[in-house]
């Protein structure tokens, strides 16, 4: 089957997702949801009509940073290769005001919802994590951070010039 996902890809995506969550945790981010393939989470982002148009991000994290005197929310997607991430990047690009309201609802215990909703586009950091990929720097949207997870090596991070977390990702 042409579009069948191999067990290798599922295992690799699971490892990338878990490694990303660990990486964020080590860098002082509060990981509030982690949803590797085959996992379950209650963190879903809907578009206002029950489950139609919504999805479950692979990783959600929050960080309050003194340097900017504000918080940033990360919504991250992961894939075994960058070439497999196009649909996930499109999900991130298409996040709307309605999705932001769901994020505020899901994170109401962790963030100031009014502050979030008044300026969510500048508080939302989109991340795509992957294991392998070439030429991704040319096609990466300017507000997205790409993190290439390489086994037994430090992750390679490419930060889009308009990324809200560009100065605090590794603080």
pTM above 0.85, yes or no: yes
Kindly give the parts of the chain with pLDDT less than 50: 1-8
Query: What pLDDT, on the 0 to 100 scale, is given for residue 145?
Result: 96
Query: What pLDDT, on the 0 to 100 scale, is given for residue 54?
Result: 63
Query: What pLDDT, on the 0 to 100 scale, is given for residue 152?
Result: 85
Burial class (CB in 10 A: 0-12, 13-18, 19+), 11: middle
User: In the block, which residue shows the tokens 């959600």?
Assistant: 60
Terminal C-alpha separation, the chain: 44
- The residue count of the chain comes to 171
Query: What pLDDT, on the 0 to 100 scale, is given for residue 5?
Result: 47
**DSSP code of residue 42:** S
Query: What pLDDT, on the 0 to 100 scale, is given for residue 1?
Result: 38
Query: What pLDDT, on the 0 to 100 scale, is given for residue 6?
Result: 47
Query: What pLDDT, on the 0 to 100 scale, is given for residue 67?
Result: 79
d(CA 134, CA 116): 35
């Amino acid at each position: 089957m042409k579009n069948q996902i191999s067990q290798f890809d599922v295992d690799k995506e699971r490892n990338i997702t878990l490694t990303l969550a660990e990486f964020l945790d080590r860098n002082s981010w509060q990981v509030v949801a982690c949803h590797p393939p085959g996992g379950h989470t209650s963190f879903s982002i809907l578009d206002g009509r029950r489950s139609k148009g919504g999805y479950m991000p692979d990783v959600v994290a929050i960080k309050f940073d003194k340097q900017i005197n504000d918080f940033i929310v990360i919504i991250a997607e992961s894939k075994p290769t960058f070439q497999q991430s196009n649909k996930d990047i499109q999900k991130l690009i298409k996040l709307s005001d309605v999705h932001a309201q769901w994020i505020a609802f899901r994170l109401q215990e962790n963030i100031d919802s009014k502050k979030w909703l008044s300026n969510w586009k500048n508080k939302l950091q989109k991340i795509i994590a992957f294991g392998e990929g070439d030429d991704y720097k040319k096609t990466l949207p300017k507000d997205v951070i790409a993190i290439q997870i390489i086994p037994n090596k430090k992750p390679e991070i490419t930060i889009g010039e308009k990324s809200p977390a560009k100065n605090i990702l590794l603080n």
